[in-house]
Amino acid sequence: MKKIGRSKGFALTALVVAMSCAGAAQAGITDKDILDDQITTDDVVSNGLGPRGQRYSPLDTLNTENVKELRPVWSFSFGGEKQRGQESQPMVKDGVMYVTGSYSRVFAVDVRTGEELWEYNARLPDGIMPCCDVINRGVALYGDLVIFGTLDAKLVALDKDTGKVVWKKTVADYKEGYSLTAAPLIVKGNIITGVSGGEFGVVGKVEAYDAKTGDIIWTRPTVEGHMGYIWKDGKKVENGLSGGQPGQTWPGDLWKTGGAATWLGGTYDPETDLMFFGTGNPAPWNSHLRPGDNLFSSSRLAIDPDTGKIVWHFQTTPHDGWDFDGVNELISFDYEEAGQTVKAAATADRNGFFYVLNRENGDFIRGFPFVDKITWAEGLDEKGRPIFKDGGRPGNPADAEDGGKGESVMSAPSFLGGKNWMPMAFSQDTGLFYVPSNEWAMDIWNEPISYKKGAAYLGAGFTIRPMNEDYIGVLRAIDPKSGQEVWRYENYAPLWGGVLATKGNLVFTGNPEGYLMAFDAKSGEMLYKFQTGSGIVGSPITWEMDGEQYVSVVSGWGGAVPLWGGEVAKRVKHLNQGGSVWTFKLPKDS
């Protein structure tokens, strides 16, 4: 951990911040602060600008009339040679920004000046095995703690004022392929975390830890047949199997290394008191080895935050053979239909379909394609189950005469998905979802594979290619009631960053070419763009201070695309890496 700038200037800045907070800093972050995050505009204390993850702000000082005047006020560099993908969403509280960088680093920054207050660098072992770059998507705030996960699968709690370690807990064994990349979720004083590592045959899980002490509360595996546990009076007690009997939807013992990693984290709906977590691909990718639905892979799970029990599940891709992880965020929202309020939740899946579910019981309401081309399925049935297309699945290696790879198929979307991890936003004003998506295809084939601890467990090969000369990325405005695409913005490179919607009728996102962009939420007209110097694959935020509205975004090209992207990676090979956070506001006379 490194401290910087502890000078008279820093002391004066800290005094100003403390005075402006009028004692609020001493109280620390409470559960109420997190639940109210969407309506309290002077801070950002949850990933998603509220536990439901809508990424909507009621601020409208910045709007379609004046956004063209938006100006940078400071840029903070993460420094050094540790660049790579920067997928973090910053947090802001009491004049301090908390933001993570690649290689499991945390920075505290004075939001008035952009001066670094402290920095924490995790000491990572040499043997970490991150699938898709050395990224981190952000911290959680609770009490006086800043909490985040590391690439060697640890939860670390830091003192918010000094950056010193308060506690540290091991969540899983990194030598088996586990890591932590998501921002933790805080629910009722507990830290809720998932795990990464689905490409290594891990067993996905969701766990709860006491935020103040780091003590484990419960653990819930997300592969059918594994036992969940709850801790009572310090003792580990069995808490029921996940799903049915071991191997019920899996052949043999493959459920023991079944994947279903919960690598994107979750959202929480206070109305139903349910957490929503998505699960990743089943392992291995070669689906011919594991006939059956392979629960609970490629699914959305509703989980009781008090016990870890799975209340309901919805599987978007049963018997997934294309790496269509189901981790993408499930966002709670309400809408009116036939004079009734529908308590819904929506997700845009990697498989190319957009789903609207009843968030109380997981029932399928409707689903529709949100990308231009889907080759693996003909559509969805009345329960939302995909209707598989003949010839859409890569061939069985066992059918190959030479015992090598199976027949290759062209599949759209590619395994990187119609939408990947990058979070969409929901506007309470327009009723639209703003979805960062991509149009690409892949050639995919299966290969023989056997499990080896800590080794990649795919049993598949692939190449990815664009489907259009002029664009890959598409920012879409989608009506969840009709399935209509209201407008779209096409981007030459893939879109890999999150989206923010505001009451000022604005939609913010960034692109790999380096631009922070603002669009009219109703028409899709681009109203503003600013070059940050490196590709944006983080998620923008907004808040107000001293009556002024600010926007911040992390800049730093990387993530899965340049590592796994095949022909797509060639299209973006000229883009520069980076590592910085930019903050903007209107000039005083606007």
| pLDDT tens digit sequence for 199-256 | 999 999 999 999 999 999 999 999 999 999 999 998 999 999 999 889 899 999 999 9
State yes or no: is 323 an active-site residue.
yes
Catalytic residue among 320, 323, 325, 349: 323
Domain boundaries, the chain: 31-585
| pLDDT tens digit sequence for 149-194 | 999 999 999 999 999 999 999 999 999 999 999 999 999 999 999 9
| Annotated binding-site ranges for pyrroloquinoline quinone | 87, 137, 181, 420-421
| Annotated binding-site ranges for Ca(2+) | 199, 281, 323
Is residue 496 scored above 80 in pLDDT? yes
pLDDT for the residue numbered 569: 85
pLDDT, the chain, mean: 93
Is residue 466 scored above 50 in pLDDT? yes
pLDDT for the residue numbered 401: 79
CB 323 within 8 A of CB 335: no
Q: How far apart are CA 322 and CA 138, in angstroms?
A: 28
Q: Amino acid letter at 209? A: Y
DSSP category for residue 104: T
pLDDT for the residue numbered 83: 80
**What is the arithmetic mean of pLDDT over 378-383?**
98
pLDDT for the residue numbered 404: 83
- Which tokens belong to 358? 């009843």
| Annotated binding-site ranges | 87, 137, 181, 199, 281, 323, 420-421
Do the strands 499-502 and 56-57 form a parallel or antiparallel pair, or are they unpaired?
Answer: parallel
CB 154 within 8 A of CB 184: no
DSSP category for residue 503: T
Is residue 570 scored above 90 in pLDDT? no
DSSP calls for 452-463: -TTS----EEEE
Q: Do you find a cis peptide bond into 296, omega within 30 degrees of 0?
A: yes
Q: Amino acid letter at 278? A: G
pLDDT for the residue numbered 565: 73
Q: Output Rg (C-alpha) for the chain, integer angstroms.
A: 23
Q: How confident is the model at residue 57 (pLDDT cuts 50, 70, 90)?
A: very high
CB 581 within 8 A of CB 109: yes
Beta bridge partners of 466: 440
More confident residue, 422 or 7: 422
More confident residue, 299 or 573: 299
Domain 31-585 has CATH 3.10.20.30: no
| pLDDT tens digit sequence for 327-343 | 999 999 999 999 999 99
CB 330 within 8 A of CB 318: no
User: What is the percent of the chain where pLDDT is above 90?
Assistant: 87
Cα separations (Å) of 344 from 261, 300, 366, 524?
Answer: 24, 14, 11, 25
Q: How far apart are CA 349 and CA 352, in angstroms?
A: 6
Q: How far apart are CA 556 and CA 575, in angstroms?
A: 10
| pLDDT tens digit sequence for 264-297 | 999 999 999 999 999 999 999 999 999 999 999 9
More confident residue, 186 or 15: 186
Q: How confident is the model at residue 11 (pLDDT cuts 50, 70, 90)?
A: very low
